[in-house]
Structure 1
Amino acid sequence: MKCIVKSFLLMLVLVLGAKSVVLADEHQCKKITASGNSEYPPYLWKAENNTNLSGAISLLINDLSQDLGIEIELIYSGPWGRVQEEVAAGRVDMIAGAFFTIPRTNYMDYLYPEFQATKTAVWYNKQKPFVFSVWHDLKPYQGVTVINNSFGEAFDEFAKSNLAISKVASLQQALQMLSAQRVDYLIYEENPGQAYANRSGLQNLTTHPVSVTEENLYLTLSKKSKCNTPELKEKISDLLKTYQGQNRMENYLRSALGMWAKFDA
């Protein structure tokens, strides 16, 4: 009888142990799905296959994937607003390039340090110039920006209460509106705005020398992602520090600008 009980207990331990191994394996992070703003050259844009994303951040992600030993697939998952929804729902693990806002911390964790500092500019039509040195100078004018974009907590709150800024679906649409003088200014980052303006031949647009804000770009992980573990976040942070010390983003941006110039949109 004792032998039967011992055998039964041994089998139970083996079965439970096997199940634990299976469950643990199911929760391991074997692949990270990342996405980002597909209208964000030279940082990101939709690749020629219309499935993945190319750009400077793509080059960063490729190196990060190799050094982590984990596949990171950088996919196109729709407009910027939908990307954020996908991450909030846990259907996409990572955002590859996001500004910090308090509301976003409800559904994703920011990975430190930042990988790039950016400058947000006031774009205007050369045929309709105006003076800009502080945010309040924008009050008399009609502005435009791209929906679901943030330019820092402070400016977002100021704009919401004090400025007349309409929101459109794409940067291309916003630039065309400004070029046609349907609005007085555009709030958008300098590098992506210039990339699109150059490509579209919009030579009548330029930026004020004073920036609206200067913000940092971060990688983030969805709070609902099984890849969101302290161990992985620490590894990514360590690698970002290494890349920062090596000034890798400068090389990524240089390469991406060449790629964007040749890209057949």
Structure 2
Amino acid sequence: MLDRHLLKSCVLAISCLSVSSLSFAAGSCERLVATGNPNNPPFMWRDPQNPKQLMGAQADMLKKVAKDLGVRLDVLYSRSWEKAEEEVRSGRIDLLSGVELTPASLDDLDYIYPSVYSHDTVVWVRNILSFPYIEWADLRDRKGAKAADALSPAFTDYAKANLDIEQGANLSQVFQKLMLGEVDYVLAERESSLARATTMGLQDDLLPLSPPIEGRPMYLALSHNSACNDAWLRGQLAKKMTEIAASELPESLIQKNLQLWKQQQSEPASAPKVAQ
């Protein structure tokens, strides 16, 4: 039988080792860098007062997560969505916010579940019209329009066979057609289209209908090549995203950032802060 004092010493040593290992795991990454789509308000857009940074609902959410984990976070501007993806795949940036799940991207990214936001494509109509809508078939016998938003193969096939939808040059153009009565509805993503309608002064004239035509979840993803990618961080990120998804925070951040976007569009341009 082991000597009682020796056994006590072994237990104490193991306990210290466990605490030390846990501390190392929790503190192995003191700084995270994230990026995302710089042209997707209210989710993310370039901060006019700090052009090297991104702001928006997703940026605010990431900052809360980092604060809860005791990790420093920078949400950096990467010029374009394609550049953001490239920077994260390489590991030069750790986190990519707002990425949709595709088989090819699993080669480079660990997706954090659940998603908090999604790109919901909805039917937009003039706010003065009665437009009964519950399902795709309700769009028959009406003329629609869409901009560059990609839709699922299932809806695309259905639309080709059953609907009259013209392709517009951009969202502003198709919204103008809608207001002029040249089309009956527009198919476009809900939140980003609301931001665009705000810049056009149409936020009270246009109405998004429910339910969405379709939704595409947007995930937070961690680069396989990130020096911070370990089991502890992936687990903590998943835990925080689960908590946030079950709360009212996502919607409150959307509303807050829609107001910020609207305010920025109405203010005269000012000189950005100079990086020190």
Whether the TM-score (by the shorter chain) exceeds 0.5 is yes
Q: How does 1:152-163 map to 2 (within 5 A)?
A: 155-156=152-153, 159=156
Quote the Cα distance in structure 2 between the aligned partners of 1:142 and 1:45.
26
8 A Cα contact 2:54 2:76, kept in partner: yes
The answer as to whether partners of 2:168 and 2:174 remain within 8 angstroms in 1 is no
Aligned twin of 1:177: 173
The equivalent residue for 2:51 is: 50
Q: Secondary structure at the match of 2:234?
A: helix
Question: Residue 94 of structure 1: CA displacement?
Answer: 1.0
Q: Is the 8 A contact 2:132 2:138 kept in 1?
A: no
Q: Is the 8 A contact 1:145 1:165 kept in 2?
A: no
Q: Distance in 1 between matches of 2:35 and 2:175?
A: 30
Q: What's the offset of the Cα at 1:165?
A: 8.2
Q: Indicate if the aligned counterparts of 1:135 and 1:212 stay in contact, CA closer than 8 A.
A: no
Judged with a 3 Å threshold, the aligned counterparts in structure 2 of structure 1 residues 208 and 228 are, in CA distance, closer, same or farther, namely same
Which residue of structure 2 aligns with residue 192 of structure 1?
192
One-letter amino acid of the structure 1 residue matched with residue 36 of structure 2: G
Query: Which amino acid in the other structure matches residue 147 of structure 2?
Result: V
Q: C-alpha distance in 2, partners of 1:156/1:32?
A: 36
> 1:2-13 counterparts in 2 under 5 A?
none
Within 5 Å, give how 1:116-131 maps onto structure 2.
116-123=117-124
The 8 Å contact of residues 34 and 94 in structure 1, kept in 2 or not, is answered as: yes
* 2:136 corresponding residue in structure 1: 134
Paired residues of 2:198 and 2:262 also in contact (CA < 8 A): no
2:232 is the alignment partner of 1:236: no
CA spacing shift, 1:167–1:85, aligned 2, 3 Å: farther
Distance in 2 (CA, whole Å) between partners of 1:247 and 1:124 is: 27
TM-score (norm 2): 0.66
- The answer as to 2:273 corresponding to 1:262 is no
Secondary structure of 1:92's aligned partner: coil
Return 78-87 or 156-165, whichever deviates more. 156-165
Percentage of pairs with the same residue: 25
Answering whether residue 100 of structure 2 is matched by residue 103 of structure 1, we say: no
Paired AA for residue 86 in structure 2: E
- Aligned partners of 2:126 and 2:82: how far apart in 1? 27
Q: Which residue of 2 aligns with 1:30?
A: 30
2-structure distance, mates of 1:245, 1:77: 30
The answer to whether the 8 A contact 2:120-2:215 is kept is yes
- RMSD between aligned residues: 3.7
Question: Aligned equivalents of 2:105 and 2:153: distance in 1?
Answer: 14
Tell me the CA shift for residue 95 of structure 1: 1.2
2:142 is aligned with 1:145: no
Structure 2 spans left out of the alignment, 5+ residues: 1-23, 270-276
Could you tell me how far 1:233 is from its partner in structure 2? 0.3
Change (3 A) 1:246 1:176: closer
Deviation per residue, 1:209-256 (Å, 9 max, x gap): 452212333211112212221211001111222233443223322322
Letter in 1 for 2:156: A
Cα deviations by residue, 1:92-113 (Å, 9 ceiling, x for unpaired): 2211222323232222111012
Aligned equivalents of 1:166 and 1:107: distance in 2?
A: 33
Rounded Cα–Cα distance in structure 2 between residues aligned with 1:31 and 1:216: 27
Q: Is the 8 A contact 2:36 2:97 kept in 1?
A: yes
* Superposition TM-score, scaled by structure 1 size: 0.69
Question: What is the aligned length?
Answer: 228
